[in-house]
Structure 1
Amino acid sequence: MNTSTHEIPFPDATVITVNGVDLEVFEAGQENAGNPIVLCHGWPDLAYTWRFQIPALVAAGYHVIAPNQRGFGNSTRPEEIVDYDIEHLTGDLAALLDHFGYERATFIGHDWGAFVVWSFTLLYPHRVDRVVALSLPYLARGEMPWLDFMEAVLGSDYYFVHFNKQPGVADAVFDAEPARFINNLYRRDEPLMPPKPGMALIEIARDTAPLGEPLLSENELAVYESAFKHSGFTGGINWYRNLNRNWHLLADADPIIHQPALMIYGLRDAIARSEQLSAFVPNVEELSFDSGHWVQQERRSETTNAILEWLGRNPAS
């Protein structure tokens, strides 16, 4: 365990070559081999987001596998945008299971990581025992490709659309001051405010007086700053640039998640609760905490305890 830059012990990194890329993987609980759980971070985030959950999962008997997914940290950052589509992202997870010799695992995902986990469950249903999703509920595949729908409903300044319509613009703003962007974005106790005009994430990156309180300590922020100074933000943003492509790639998948699932929301999160989740995820339980978007960090104990309690009641098959 490396404690030099972390406030709590965090596993050392191992670089593993899978699916044509190198993934920086943080592994813990090797003594629990045979009981795997894979943790998938979102954007702009890292496997480090799970630092509060990993020790508890290991203590509960799990072999924890937490990758920095492609585009993040010291993992490979392909040049081509299509190399970040859902076939590649889920293919990385399948190859990661193969590397460790596992046919199936439990998957936990936050934000974009939740989208990848939901999609992995659609594309590789035989490889998933249980699903835990944080912040991002299952995204139903409607009649219109997702980005087209977002642009029609939310406009061209909506950040998903902006990333696609104005490639490189937001990337450059975030890359200029990674620590400021992350510190402004990772907040607690933010008042609920109506959305401002313009591209919200660029406004956040430039804000000189962000609302709420910082979620990250100086040491924690330093971990994020170092990682994103190295990687930049473009690789992760390329996940957004494949959303319409993903809509097409998922066309033939059974849209129903049959596995037991736990969905955890933050009541202060800008991402809305799904009112139709049980129609697509019939075996789901839903919980909400008084939290913003980064629920596994902001409400660390409540989130960890809820996950462990639910896993205990829903044993792997």
Structure 2
Amino acid sequence: MNVEHRDVEVNGIRLHIAEQGSGPLVLLLHGFPESWYSWRHQFAPLAEAGYRVVAPDQRGYARSERPEEVDAYTLPHLVGDVVGLIRALGEESAVLVGHDWGAPVAWSTAMMRPDLVRGVVGLSVPPFPPAMMPAPSVTRRVYGEGFYQVYFQEPGVADAELAADPASFLRRVLVGASGDNPYADEPQLWIVPEGSTLLDSLPEPDELPSWLTEEDVQAFARDHALHGARAYTGPLNWYRNIERNQGLMSPFQGRGIDVPALYMVGDMDMVTVMRGIPELREALPAIAPKLHDSVTLPGCGHWTQQERPAEVNAALVDFLAHLGTRS
């Protein structure tokens, strides 16, 4: 059975989705700077295990619509898209699997709408309720102006750099943040040195690792290029709302994750060396009392489901089966 593609209308915008299989709904939520294609290794195994697998291009990404307003990319908007997508697909609930930025969206949806979420999986990024990510006003003090989330705040700057050559950018970031980065033997935070550009901090790799082909790079790049010179403006606007999210999510202060949960991360993922993350990982059982497991993948970098598809798929199928045994 092939992956099928179509568009759906959700909250007044058009979202592209890829889907395969039938059964209970599993929504796969990608991160930055990816698309539905980051889940290419998950469709068949999950569909064969008896699930309806749907991966959207999230708001502003790839084949989906890109609202112009910066404040159209807040965390409540992104959660609203997931809620609307579940309804648009004719379902009453879903299991959510999120990677990178998709993880905060998945965790937040589980926190805000546990009635719609049977279970939640976060890859790379653990839950950090209520706003899920520290604000740039905090990370600027901790890491400086070169920290990538701070660097992304200036409208137009990173937008132009990344859109100039999407394929080159994708090669640089996918290899540079992976467990196969030839220029680092330990996780490296993405920090742009003073006077440098974003791409200067990410060397163009001489060759691609075994889990990434040039065809993969081009598949991402083609979809991103559909938005032309503003290919990454929508995705970057997610970062430009991190500060705004602090206030918008404040009513949920004290809320945790009340549904069954799974967390997976590579030990070479740059997220693991961010300030406060080790303590946050230790607190996972308190934040998510129904935590099924917390899995660390040796040698894996940031692109969890692409770098280690077999391990991720096995853990997902096990988690889904566990949900099926619950009353």
Q: What's the TM-score once normalised by structure 1's chain length?
A: 0.89
Deviates more, 1:154-163 or 1:103-112: 154-163
1:222 paired with 2:218, answer yes
Q: Does 1:22 align with 2:29?
A: no
Letter in 1 for 2:72: D
**Given residue 186 of structure 2, which amino acid in structure 1 is its aligned partner?**
L
Q: Distance in 2 between matches of 1:150 and 1:109?
A: 23
Quick one: which of 285, 291, 316 aligns to 1:307? 316
- AA aligned opposite 1:275: E
Which letter does structure 2 place at the counterpart of 1:299? R
The one of 294, 302, 315 equivalent to 2:303 is 294
- Unmatched 5+ residue regions in structure 1? 2-8
Structure 2: tracts of 5 or more residues without a match = 273-277
Q: Residue 286 of structure 2 corresponds to which residue in structure 1?
A: 279
Whether the 8 Å CA contact 2:118–2:323 is kept in 1: the answer is no
Distance 1:125 1:201 in 2: 42
Per-residue deviation at 1:182? 0.4
Identity between Structure 1 and Structure 2 (%): 35
CA distance 1:204–1:268, change in 2 (3 Å):
farther
Change (3 A) 1:197 1:234: closer
Task: Give the C-alpha shift of residue 76 in structure 1.
Answer: 0.6
Measured in 2, the distance between the counterparts of 1:40 and 1:228 equals 16
Q: CA deviation at 1:277?
A: 2.0
Which amino acid in 2 is paired with 1:237?
A: L
Classify 1:300/1:185 alpha carbon distance in 2 versus 1 (closer, same or farther; 3 Å): same
Equivalent residue in structure 1 for 2:50, among 50, 53, 61: 61
Letter in 2 for 1:216: L
Alpha-carbon distance, 1:278 to partner = 2.1
Structure 1 residues 214 and 81 mapped into 2: Cα distance closer, same or farther (>3 Å)?
farther
Per-residue CA deviations over 1:166-188 (Å, capped at 9, x if unaligned) read 22111111111110110111124
Aligned length: 304
- Written as runs of structure 1 = structure 2, the 5 A alignment for 1:166-205 is 166-187=154-175, 188-190=179-181, 191-192=185-186, 198=193, 202-203=198-199
* RMSD over aligned Cα atoms: 2.3
Instruction: Find the aligned partners of 2:224 and 2:4 in 1 and give their Cα distance.
Output: 18
Which residue is equivalent to 1:5?
none
Encode CA deviations 1:296-315: one digit per residue, 9 max, x unaligned: 01111011111111221232
Please name the residue that 1:240 is paired with: 239
- For 1:100-128, what per-residue CA distance to the aligned partner results, in whole angstroms no more than 9, with x for missing partners? 22221110000000010111112212111
> 2:70 aligned to 55, 65, 81, which one?
81
Give the superposition deviation at 1:58: 0.5
Tell me if the contact between 1:25 and 1:67 (Cα under 8 Å) persists in the aligned partners.
yes
Within the candidate set 112, 115, 135, 2:104 is matched to: 115
The residue matched to 2:82 in structure 1 has which SS?
helix
The alignment status of 1:266 with 2:266, answered yes or no, reads yes
Which amino acid in structure 2 is aligned with residue 256 of structure 1? G
| Counterpart code for 1:26 | A
Q: How does 1:17-166 map to 2 (within 5 A)?
A: 17-30=9-22, 32=23, 35-141=24-130, 146-164=135-153, 166=154
Report the alpha carbon displacement of residue 206 of structure 1 after superposing the two structures with TM.
Answer: 5.6
**Structure 1 contact 186–215 (Cα < 8 Å) conserved:** no
Please give the TM-score of this superposition, normalised by the length of structure 2: 0.86
| 1:184–1:205 Cα contact (<8 Å) kept | no
Structure 2 SS opposite 1:26: strand
Q: 1:279: how far off?
A: 2.2
Q: Is the 8 A contact 1:178 1:225 kept in 2?
A: yes
SS at match of 2:251: coil
Cα distance change, pair 204–310 in 1 and its aligned pair in 2 (3 A): farther
Q: CA deviation at 1:75?
A: 0.6
Given that residues 10 and 88 in structure 2 are in contact (C-alpha distance below 8 angstroms), is that contact kept between their aligned partners in structure 1?
A: yes
